[in-house]
Structure 1
Amino acid sequence: MVNLLSLSALLVLGCSPRSVLATTTDNGESVLHSEASRANNQSLFWGPYKPNLYFGVRPRLPQGLWTGLMWGKVNDFESIRDCIFRSLAFRYTCEQHEGLAGYGWDEYDIRRGGVETIHDVANQLDLTVSFVKVLAAPTEVKTEGEPTGFDSDVAFSGTSESLGDYKIVVTKGDGDHPTSDHDLVSLRQPDKTTVRSAAIPDEVLWQAKAVVFKHLSNGIAEVQEKYEPEQGPPPFLVYQLANSPGSGNLHIVQKIFEGPFEFDVLFSSDSAGKELTQADLTAQITANSESFHDKFSQIFELKAPFKDDKYQVFAKTMFSNLVGGIGYFNGYHLVDRSYASEYEEDSERFWEETAEARARKQEKLEGPYDWFNTMDDDGWIAREQILGPEPRSKVPEDFQPLESAHLEFPELGETYLRSIYPQLRLHYDWFRKTQRGDVKSYDREAFSTKEAYRWRGRSETHCLTSGLDDYPRPQPPHPGELHVDLMSWVGFMTKSLMNIADALGMAEDVEEYKKISHAIERNLNDLHWSEKDGCFCDATIDDFEEHTLVCHKGYISLFPFLVGLMKADDAKLGKILDLIGDEEHLFSPYGLRSLSVKDEFYGTAENYWRSPIWININYLAIVQLHDLALQDGPFKAKVTELYRKLRKNVVDTVYNSWVETDGQQNSNRAEVRPG
Structure 2
Amino acid sequence: MAGVRKRIPNSRPGGSHLLLTNRTVNPPKKRFKLEARHLVFLVVGLGVGFGVMSVINSIWMSSRVYTPFERQEDDLVKYDMSKFWGTYRPQVYMGMKTKSPQSLVTGLMWLQQYENYRTDLPLRHTCEQGDKLLRYGWLAHDGGRFGIQDIVERDFVLRTEFVKRDGGDNGGDWTWRITGRSQNDGNPIALSLFFYAATDGQGSIASVISEGKNGKQLTEIQGETMELGKFVIKFPSELSGKQGLYHTVTAKSEGLHKIKDTALRKMQATKAKRKNQDKLFYFLGDTPNRSDPPNTKSDVIFYQVTFELPFEIEIVFESTSFQNRRDTLAGPKFTSLLASIKDKFDKKFEKKFPLKDKGYGPEEIQFAKAALSNMLGGIGHFYGHSLVQSEYQNNPVKYWDSHLLTAVPSRSFFPRGFLWDEGFHQLLVSKWDRSLSEEIIQSWLGMVNIEGWIPREQILGDEARSKVPSEFVVQHNTNANPPTLFLAIESIIEAFNVDTITKKDREFLKKIYPRLKAWYNWFNTTQAGKQPFTYRWRGRTADSDTELNPKTLTSGLDDYPRASHPSDDERHVDLRCWMAFASDTMAKIAVVVHPEIPAEAEKYAATHRLLTDNELLKELHWSSDMGLFSDYGNHTDRVFLVRRTFQNPQPGQPPTTRTVRVEKQTPKLQFVNSYGYVSLFPFLLQILEPDSDQLNQILQDMRGDDNLLWTHYGLRSLSKRDSMYMKRNTEHDPPYWRGQIWININFLAVRALKHYSTVDGPFAGQAQELYKALRKNLVQNLFEQYSKTGYLWENYNDINGKGQGSHPFTGWSALVVLIMSEQY
Matching residue within 119, 129, 152 for 2:152: 119
Matching residue within 687, 693, 701 for 1:579: 701
Q: Is 1:553 the counterpart of 2:658 in the alignment?
A: no
Q: Which residue of structure 2 lines up, in the alignment, with residue 603 of structure 1?
A: 726
| Other structure's SS at 2:455 match | coil
Cα distance, 1:130–1:243 mapped onto 2, change above 3 Å: farther
Greater shift after overlay, 592-601 or 266-275?
266-275
Q: Which residue of structure 1 lines up, in the alignment, with residue 428 of structure 2?
A: 355
Q: Is 1:431 the counterpart of 2:559 in the alignment?
A: no
State the Cα deviation string for residues 580-600 of structure 1 (Å, max 9, x = none): 223220010000000001111
Cα distance, 1:243–1:540 mapped onto 2, change above 3 Å: closer
User: Within 5 A, what are the aligned runs for 1:82-121?
Assistant: 82-84=119-121, 89-121=122-154
Q: Which residue of structure 2 lines up, in the alignment, with residue 495 of structure 1?
A: 584
Normalising by structure 2, we get a TM-score of 0.67
Distance in 2 (CA, whole Å) between partners of 1:542 and 1:471 is 14
Q: Is 1:513 the counterpart of 2:604 in the alignment?
A: yes
Please say if residues 145 and 163 of structure 2, whose CA atoms lie closer than 8 Å, have aligned partners that are also in contact: yes
Distance in 2 (CA, whole Å) between partners of 1:75 and 1:542 is 62
Cα distance, 1:631–1:508 mapped onto 2, change above 3 Å: same
Normalising by structure 1, we get a TM-score of 0.81
| Other structure's SS at 1:474 match | coil
Q: Is 1:209 the counterpart of 2:260 in the alignment?
A: yes
User: Within 5 A, what are the aligned runs for 1:29-178?
Assistant: 41-78=80-117, 81-84=118-121, 89-121=122-154, 124-135=155-166, 137-148=172-183, 151=212, 154-172=219-237, 174-177=239-242
Structure 2 counterpart of 1:530, which letter?
Answer: S
1:177: Cα distance to partner? 4.4
1:302: Cα distance to partner? 1.7
Please say if residues 594 and 609 of structure 1, whose CA atoms lie closer than 8 Å, have aligned partners that are also in contact: yes
Give the number of equivalent residue pairs.
580
Distance in 1 (CA, whole Å) between partners of 2:222 and 2:572 is 58
Compare the two structures and name the one with the higher strand fraction.
2
| Other structure's SS at 2:340 match | helix
Greater shift after overlay, 430-439 or 458-467?
458-467
Q: Which residue of structure 2 lines up, in the alignment, with residue 564 of structure 1?
A: 686
Greater shift after overlay, 495-504 or 373-382?
495-504
Cα distance, 1:340–1:214 mapped onto 2, change above 3 Å: closer
Q: Which residue of structure 1 lines up, in the alignment, with residue 367 of structure 2?
A: 314
Percent identity over the alignment?
33
Please say if residues 587 and 604 of structure 2, whose CA atoms lie closer than 8 Å, have aligned partners that are also in contact: yes
1:351: Cα distance to partner? 2.8
Q: Which residue of structure 2 lines up, in the alignment, with residue 15 of structure 1?
A: none
User: Within 5 A, what are the aligned runs for 1:120-519?
Assistant: 120-121=153-154, 124-135=155-166, 137-148=172-183, 151=212, 154-172=219-237, 174-177=239-242, 191-201=244-254, 204-216=255-267, 219-220=268-269, 223=270, 234-236=279-281, 239-242=282-285, 249-272=299-322, 273-277=324-328, 278=330, 279-302=332-355, 306-338=359-391, 348-361=421-434, 365-412=438-485, 413-414=488-489, 416-439=508-531, 449=532, 451-459=533-541, 460-504=549-593, 505=595, 506-519=597-610
1:265: Cα distance to partner? 1.3
Distance in 1 (CA, whole Å) between partners of 2:165 and 2:553 is 44
1:567: Cα distance to partner? 2.3
Distance in 1 (CA, whole Å) between partners of 2:385 and 2:79 is 30
| Other structure's SS at 1:532 match | coil
Structure 2 counterpart of 1:631, which letter?
Answer: V
1:176: Cα distance to partner? 4.0
Distance in 2 (CA, whole Å) between partners of 1:55 and 1:255 is 16
Cα distance, 1:117–1:561 mapped onto 2, change above 3 Å: same
Distance in 1 (CA, whole Å) between partners of 2:692 and 2:393 is 41
| Other structure's SS at 2:283 match | coil
| Other structure's SS at 2:382 match | coil
Distance in 2 (CA, whole Å) between partners of 1:390 and 1:253 is 21
Matching residue within 740, 743, 753 for 1:612: 740
Please say if residues 143 and 262 of structure 1, whose CA atoms lie closer than 8 Å, have aligned partners that are also in contact: yes
| Other structure's SS at 2:710 match | coil
| Other structure's SS at 1:53 match | coil
Cα distance, 1:660–1:71 mapped onto 2, change above 3 Å: same
1:170: Cα distance to partner? 2.0
Please say if residues 218 and 303 of structure 2, whose CA atoms lie closer than 8 Å, have aligned partners that are also in contact: no
Structure 2 counterpart of 1:329, which letter?
Answer: F
Structure 2 counterpart of 1:292, which letter?
Answer: F
Distance in 2 (CA, whole Å) between partners of 1:104 and 1:529 is 44
1:546: Cα distance to partner? 8.2
Please say if residues 756 and 764 of structure 2, whose CA atoms lie closer than 8 Å, have aligned partners that are also in contact: yes
Structure 2 counterpart of 1:316, which letter?
Answer: K
Compare the two structures and name the one with the higher helix fraction.
1
Please say if residues 482 and 539 of structure 1, whose CA atoms lie closer than 8 Å, have aligned partners that are also in contact: yes
1:192: Cα distance to partner? 3.8
State the Cα deviation string for residues 46-101 of structure 1 (Å, max 9, x = none): 111000001110001111211111001012222xx5343xxxx3210000135410
Please say if residues 256 and 298 of structure 2, whose CA atoms lie closer than 8 Å, have aligned partners that are also in contact: no
1:493: Cα distance to partner? 0.9
Structure 2 counterpart of 1:174, which letter?
Answer: L
Distance in 2 (CA, whole Å) between partners of 1:497 and 1:340 is 33
State the Cα deviation string for residues 230-256 of structure 1 (Å, max 9, x = none): x997423xx122379xx9820111010
Please say if residues 340 and 405 of structure 1, whose CA atoms lie closer than 8 Å, have aligned partners that are also in contact: no
Q: Is 1:539 the counterpart of 2:621 in the alignment?
A: no
Please say if residues 314 and 663 of structure 1, whose CA atoms lie closer than 8 Å, have aligned partners that are also in contact: no
Please say if residues 70 and 92 of structure 1, whose CA atoms lie closer than 8 Å, have aligned partners that are also in contact: yes
Q: Is 1:622 the counterpart of 2:753 in the alignment?
A: no
1:547: Cα distance to partner? 5.4
| Other structure's SS at 1:235 match | strand
Greater shift after overlay, 92-101 or 272-281?
272-281
Give the RMSD, CA atoms, in angstroms. 2.8
Structure 1 counterpart of 2:261, which letter?
Answer: A
Distance in 1 (CA, whole Å) between partners of 2:326 and 2:299 is 27
1:408: Cα distance to partner? 1.2
Distance in 1 (CA, whole Å) between partners of 2:356 and 2:741 is 23
Distance in 2 (CA, whole Å) between partners of 1:604 and 1:339 is 37
Larger radius of gyration: 2
Distance in 2 (CA, whole Å) between partners of 1:336 and 1:653 is 42
1:214: Cα distance to partner? 0.8
Distance in 2 (CA, whole Å) between partners of 1:130 and 1:625 is 40
Please say if residues 55 and 69 of structure 1, whose CA atoms lie closer than 8 Å, have aligned partners that are also in contact: yes
Structure 2 counterpart of 1:404, which letter?
Answer: N
User: Gapped runs of 5+ residues in structure 1?
Assistant: 1-38, 179-190, 342-346, 440-448, 667-675
Distance in 1 (CA, whole Å) between partners of 2:181 and 2:567 is 60
Please say if residues 563 and 634 of structure 2, whose CA atoms lie closer than 8 Å, have aligned partners that are also in contact: no
Cα distance, 1:304–1:601 mapped onto 2, change above 3 Å: farther
Structure 2 counterpart of 1:165, which letter?
Answer: K
State the Cα deviation string for residues 20-63 of structure 1 (Å, max 9, x = none): xxxxxxxxxxxxxxxxxxx9811211111000001110001111
Distance in 1 (CA, whole Å) between partners of 2:569 and 2:791 is 49
Structure 2 counterpart of 1:488, which letter?
Answer: C
Structure 2 counterpart of 1:534, which letter?
Answer: G
